[in-house]
Amino acid sequence: MKKLKNEAQLAKLAVTIGEKYAKNRGYKQFSATDSATQKIESLYRLLVLDKLVTPLPVDQENQMNMKHKLSIWISKQLPDDHPLLK
């Protein structure tokens, strides 16, 4: 997988936007005690369920790849002139 420029910041933004998306879909909010790992996996699975993200092969489902998929998803949602895409 080719690493994206500003991937860490994109992943953080994806979690923030993903939480709002999940809430609008009717899921309960994440609690303050939920770890980033739990949030990333939950959001990845929700986006796969909604067919917004292509699922990873089962043997490649790990935190790094899920984070990468979320980063790709959010990068496609941002306008072309967004600072994180430059």
Domains of the chain, each with CATH number or no CATH: 7-24+35-80 (1.20.120.1930)
Residue 32 has pLDDT above 80, yes or no: yes
Strands (E), 1-86: none
Q: What's the predicted TM-score (pTM) here? A: 0.90
Task: For 15-53, give one letter per residue: b (16+ CB within 10 A) or e.
Answer: bebbbebbeeeeeeebeeeeeeeebbbbbbebbbeeeeb
Confidence of residue 7 (pLDDT cuts 50, 70, 90): very high
